[in-house]
Amino acid sequence: MQAMEPEQKKSVMVSADVHRRIVALRKGDQTYGDVVAASIRVLEEREEISSLPCVDDFSEEEIDQMFREAQEHPEEFCTLEEFMKKQEEIRRKK
């Protein structure tokens, strides 16, 4: 095996959970598949979160319009608490 030059090495950010799994892999406590599965799960969660719109993405007019629509048709909208519960149920099913 050939040693890599320092400029060829690349660093990658991983979550604390994935880091623990990598350490466990080195110790022989887990398999490579366990580490890969954890990495994929973290990436999927990040994609899920990044797809949710942020309030900063909306203009004042758009926020006012959404607020008016929610008042006119409350049955079509839910509270933040209800939304969070639904998201948690979806995550549990996966």
Domains of the chain, residue spans:
14-52, 55-94
Confidence of residue 1 (pLDDT cuts 50, 70, 90): very low
CA 55 to chain CA centroid, Å, is 18
User: Which tokens is 49 given?
Assistant: 């979160």
Distances (CA, A) of 49 to 31, 58, 64, 87, 89: 28, 17, 24, 11, 15
**What is the value of pTM for the model shown?**
0.35
pLDDT digits (tens, 9 = 90+) for 16-29: 777 787 787 788 87
75-84 pLDDT, tens digit each: 888 888 888 8
Residue 21: exposure state from Cβ atoms within 10 A (0-12, 13-18, ≥19) = buried
Query: For residue range 44-90, what is the model confidence (pLDDT) as tens digits?
Result: 887 777 777 777 778 889 988 988 988 888 888 888 888 888 888 88
pLDDT of residue 10: 64
pLDDT, position 47: 78
Q: Which residue has the tokens 């048709």?
A: 73
pLDDT number for residue 30: 75
